[in-house]
Chains A and B, each alone.
Chain A
């Protein structure tokens, strides 16, 4: 079946440095790629998304890039802050399930002071 792979599973960076999380997807018909942030004890919240007709999207310190040919997309967080510590999930829409989302396994981001 279709899947989304996410790496790394844990990422530890110094406060102020950049963090990059990468995902690859298998369905060439996927056209929507969101990123969600989940804080402890809460449900995931959308932080940024990108559609297949766009290569890059930025929102302040967060950016997402998409390479359709290679079927991978990445989340970039610059100037990391303690409040960026959380679990981040990528997802991709899957054609065979009416474009519902298939999710990556998550990346635990730790910001060291």
Chain B
């Protein structure tokens, strides 16, 4: 089992560029989510999905879009990258949702110049 797979591991963007961070899980989990991790701030929820076709905003959604067309995939799109989006991004999945173990990917380190 691969678990949660994120690509790419590293990315450098220029201000204004767009890109998609990929996330896939092979555990047939219903819930998937995206977090950003900044020094001294822990993890902050960007967007989450409770199942295919259903997404909702988290704590810091501005500047990001998501879609969930399949159970396995949950890509995160940066529409117009800004230096404030420099961060480490983690995708996670859960079997059913609240109160259950989160399985995290290994992260994407993004730098926006």
Contact = CB atoms under 8 A, between A and B. Distances in A.
Contacts, number: 59
B81 interface: no
A108 B107 CA distance: 19
A101 B104 contact: no
B65 to A, nearest CB: 18
B14 interface: no
Range of interface residues on chain A?
20 to 34
B101 A46 contact: yes
Chain A interface SS verdict (over half): strand
Contact of B43 (A31, A42, A44, A46): A44
Contact of A100 (B40, B41, B48): B48
Interface stretch (A61-69, A71-79, A91-99): A91-99
B90 interface: yes
Contacts of A106: 40, 42
Contact of A105 (B41, B56, B58, B106): B41
Contacts of A25: none
A36 B92 CA distance: 13
Nearest to B99: A32
A100 B99 contact: no
A44 B104 contact: yes
Which one of B40, B42, B58, B104 has the greatest number of beta carbons of chain A within 10 Å? B42
Given A51-B99, A89-B42, A100 B58 contact: yes
Contacts of A42: 106-107
Contact of A97 (B4, B58, B104): B58
A97 to B, nearest CB: 7
Contact of A31 (B4, B41, B99): B99
Interface of A: 4, 6, 9, 31-32, 34, 36, 41-46, 49, 51, 89, 91, 93, 97-106
